[in-house]
A and B are shown apart, each in its own frame.
Chain A
């Protein structure tokens, strides 16, 4: 099956700094990737849809200037949390849209745990 990787798996940063999270499709090309945020013991909340070569589409309530998304190639999307604050601490998951034979499916990365101190 399609494999999606994320790097780093864990990151700790100081308040006010920026941190970049990478999402890669390892054995396929992904024109569309998604970024989710998951709070402890909660569901996944879609933050934005990342489209290769164009601007990301953000969900309502997500600050596009704070969560910068770049999808510069067909195998890589990045999420940069700018001027991070402790409330940005969370588990961030990316997924890639993949043709599953009958319809598109999403294959997920292993997630990145961000802790802002």
Chain B
């Protein structure tokens, strides 16, 4: 069975600085997708970024980028120029590309605090 681990329950970053959130996963599959979701205090889950396992190039979305290390099964999220609005819970998620179920497996989350 696949698992997703986020070892940092909480992180803090100064406004305008850069922070990296860690995520590791375990799977025997070779084809899958990884996601980072943001859950602000409103509790609305928002997709931040997506990475396809078959792509070697790291995904980027404006200030958000990932460091995808397939061999190490690591998928970290880097937030550059942190803003107060980035404060939220961040969840890493895994989805198989072959099972056909489209089920997500979520990590336990990292709470990001942004300090003014």
Stretch at the interface among B16-24, B67-75, B95-103: B95-103
A106 at the interface (CB under 8 A from B): yes
Tell me the chain A residues, 39-68 only, with Cβ under 8 Å from chain B. Answer: 41-44, 46, 49
Please tell me if the beta carbons of A106 and B104 are within 8 angstroms of each other in the complex.
yes
| Contact status A43-B97, CB under 8 Å | no
The docked-state distance in angstroms from the alpha carbon of A34 to that of B107 is 17
**Selected contact of B102 from candidates A93, A104, A108, CB within 8 Å:** A104
Cross-chain contact A102 with B52 (CB below 8 angstroms)? yes
Task: Give B6's nearest chain A residue, CB to CB.
Answer: A43
Contact of B108 among A34, A43, A93 (CB under 8 A): A43
Which residues of B are found within 8 Å of A44, using beta-carbon distances?
A: 45, 91, 104, 106
Residues of B within 8 A of A91 (CB): 43
A19 to chain B, nearest CB (A): 18
Asked if A43 and B107 sit within 8 Å, CB to CB, the answer is yes
* Alpha-carbon distance A111/B37, docked complex (angstroms): 15
Give every chain B residue within 8 A of A100 (Cβ-Cβ).
50
State the Cβ distance, B43 to closest chain A Cβ, in Å.
5
Render A23-49 as a binary contact track against B, CB cut-off 8 A, 1 for contact. Answer: 000000000101000000111101001
Chain B residues within 8 Å of chain A by Cβ, number:
21
Q: Answer whether A103 and B52 are a contact pair too, CB < 8 Å, given A43-B109, A110-B42, A111-B43.
A: yes
Q: How many residues of A contact B (CB 8 A)?
A: 23
With A46-B103, A46-B104, A49-B103 already in contact, the answer to whether A95 and B45 are too (CB < 8 A) is yes
Q: List 7 A-B contacts (CB under 8 A).
A: A41-B109, A43-B107, A46-B104, A93-B45, A100-B50, A108-B44, A108-B46
**Contacts from A to B (Cβ < 8 Å):** 32, 34, 41-44, 46, 49, 91, 93, 95, 97, 100, 102-111
Could you list which residues of chain B lie within 8 angstroms of chain A, going by C-beta atoms?
Answer: 33, 35, 37, 42-47, 50, 52, 91, 97, 101-104, 106-109
Other A-B pairs, 16, CB within 8 Å; known A34-B103, A44-B106? A41-B109, A43-B106, A44-B45, A44-B91, A46-B103, A49-B101, A91-B43, A93-B43, A95-B45, A104-B102, A105-B50, A106-B47, A107-B47, A108-B44, A108-B45, A110-B42
